[in-house]
Copies of this chain bind each other. A is one copy, B any other.
Amino acid sequence: MSAKQRPSEDSLIARFFAPIAGEAALGLKDDAACLRPKPGHDLVLTTDALVERVHFLPEDAPGSIARKALGVNVSDLAAKGSEPAGFLLSLALPDDWTEDWLAAFAAGLGQASRDFACPLLGGDTVRARGPLTLSVTAVGQVPSGRMVPRTTAGVGDAVCVTGTIGDAALGLKLRADPPWAAALSLEERAHLADRYLHPQPRHRLAAALRDHASAAMDVSDGLAGDLAKMMRASGTSAVVEAAQVPLSSAAAKAVQASPSLLDLALTGGDDYEILCTVPEKKLDSFRKEADSVGIALSVIGRVVAGQDLPVFRMNGLERRYDVGSYQHF
Residues of chain A having any CB pair with chain B under 8 Å: 3-4, 6, 8-10, 24, 26, 29-37, 39, 41-55, 76-77, 79-80, 82, 86, 88-93, 121-131, 133, 135, 137, 139-140, 142, 144, 147, 149-151, 217-218, 229, 233, 325-329
Contacts and interface: CB of A to CB of B under 8 A. Distances in A.
B46 A8 contact: no
Contact of A34 (B34, B91, B135, B147): B147
A42 B34 contact: yes
Nearest to A88: B47
Contacts of A50: 126
A125 B45 contact: no
A60 to B, nearest CB: 15
Contact of A31 (B3, B76, B139): B76
A44 B29 contact: no
B328 A8 contact: yes
B325 A8 contact: yes
Contact of A217 (B31, B124, B149): B31
A171 B55 CA distance: 38
A45 to B, nearest CB: 4
A24 B147 CA distance: 12
Which of A35, A36, A37 counts the most B-chain CB atoms under 10 A from its CB?
A37
18 contacts: A6-B328, A8-B328, A29-B150, A29-B233, A31-B46, A31-B218, A34-B44, A34-B147, A35-B43, A36-B42, A36-B144, A50-B126, A51-B130, A52-B129, A125-B329, A128-B133, A135-B135, A137-B137
